[in-house]
Amino acid sequence: MTRKHLVFALGLFYPNGEHVTSWRLPDARPERFLDFDYYRDLARTAERGRFAAIFLADELYVWDRFESGVESTVNERLEPFTLLGGLSQATEHIGLVATVSTTYNEPYHVARRLATLDHMSHGRAGWNLVTSASDEEAWNFGRDANLDHAVRYRRGGEFVEVVDRLLDSWDEGAVVADKASGRYADPAKVRPIHHHGEFFDVRGPLNISRSPQRRPALFQAGASEDGKNLAAATADAVFTLGSGTLDAAQDLYRDYKERVAVAGRDPESLAVMPMLAPVIGSTEAEARERADLILELTPDQVALDLLSHRLQTDLSGRDPDEIFTFDFLDEGTVQQSQSAYKAIQRLVEGRSLTLRQVYQAVAGRGFVVGTPEKIADRIEERFNGKAADGFILMAPSLPSGLADLVDHVVPLLTQRGIYPPEYAGATLRENLAGR
């Protein structure tokens, strides 16, 4: 069935918004970043805008490779499943998606957490699979370095398989709870999975019965060949960077859909959801002023350190006005995030940019700057042009960026008939389908 409506999810990585130093903006509330009510308010605003999900990005370390990482950026993040468990009781419709590292977790733990969240929310749970990209995470789990890229994705694929089998280890109707006979569960409907693979040996069954969705929705964000193939074979939604021309976005969209078909699945079963980072103003000039302020709040040293981190090459001592060249780098060392490396390659190709300009372009990637009408036009173009099934809002500032979209852009999209006037169903899967 063809998708009728686009879908939104609210993405949260930095609690202040998707810019490393937006905590310095006048309307930012850093004193509330560990306050449950702050996230409850964000989730309820997104729910007012009929967002399909709130999507908690996550990493398992403090970014302290450079001093500025602790001094100038927000490293505090509440644990996703704990936070989403609370939000499940403070919301009614919005899906609840937790990021899970398949490199630094075990499938049994994750399947149990997902089933619990799905029961608690009555079918609104989801998870975002990441394989973990940084050595800092490895150092917190007894390793000297992160696993090789290909190994991480093989482990991720097997991880999904084990979680799925555990979630399916109780049949529908397995719980009888017959007080008269004393029979709580039907043993014929509860099965060990007896999984023996390259990375995991898991007997099962799970110690919690089948949840409302049976298989909570799975998100992924990998842009490498390994990542794309894993998403095509297993995911319900894929998160892409979202920058670039319409033609490039259409090519990527088509690529994902073709891979899904090759994997033997219905192409419509995967929602392609680029990042959307709107900076909205009542006029173009006001929007541009807001965007410039966001980028100007990052000191040069922080910018150089962030580029160093992304490219696994120490650029921190260089002059920010020096012209960037790939002679600085060794592509063979870039295991951390191949997609980030390739994005910078595309950015600088054929251009002469300073290190500061490269950082600002990377930091502002995906920024769509303008009036509500301009933002709505861009969204409509991408949706109708088969470049996106929906978007993950990574607002450069919070809470204002979310409220601006909900209050000023969502009504326009609803009037144009491409955004749902109400929630389609009770579960995250139903609301992701765009019916």
CA distance 406 to 53: 14
For range 371-394, the mean pLDDT: 97
The β-bridge relationship of strands 175-178 and 183-185 is: antiparallel
What would the pLDDT profile of 259-314 be if each residue is shown by its tens digit? 999 999 999 999 999 999 999 999 999 999 999 999 889 888 888 888 887 777 88
What would the pLDDT profile of 141-158 be if each residue is shown by its tens digit? 999 999 998 999 999 999
What would the pLDDT profile of 70-108 be if each residue is shown by its tens digit? 999 999 999 999 999 999 999 999 999 999 999 999 999
Q: Which stretch of 48-52, 122-126, 253-257, 349-353 has the lowest confidence by average pLDDT?
A: 349-353
What would the pLDDT profile of 5-41 be if each residue is shown by its tens digit? 999 999 999 999 998 899 999 999 999 999 999 999 9
Give the bridge partners for 277, in sequence order: 367
The number of residues in the chain equals 435
- Amino acid identity at 268: E
| Cα maximum dimension of the chain | 80
Residue at token pair 């937790």: 98
Contact status, residue 111 vs residue 166, Cβ threshold 8 Å: yes
Please give the pLDDT value at position 337: 54
Q: What is the pTM of this model?
A: 0.92
Residue at token pair 């999975």: 193
- Note the CATH architecture for domain 7-280+366-432: Alpha-Beta Barrel (3.20)
DSSP three-state, residue 272: strand
Instruction: Say if residue 293 is exposed, middle or buried (CB neighbours under 10 Å; 0-12, 13-18, 19+).
Output: middle
Give yes or no for residue 250 having a pLDDT over 90.
yes
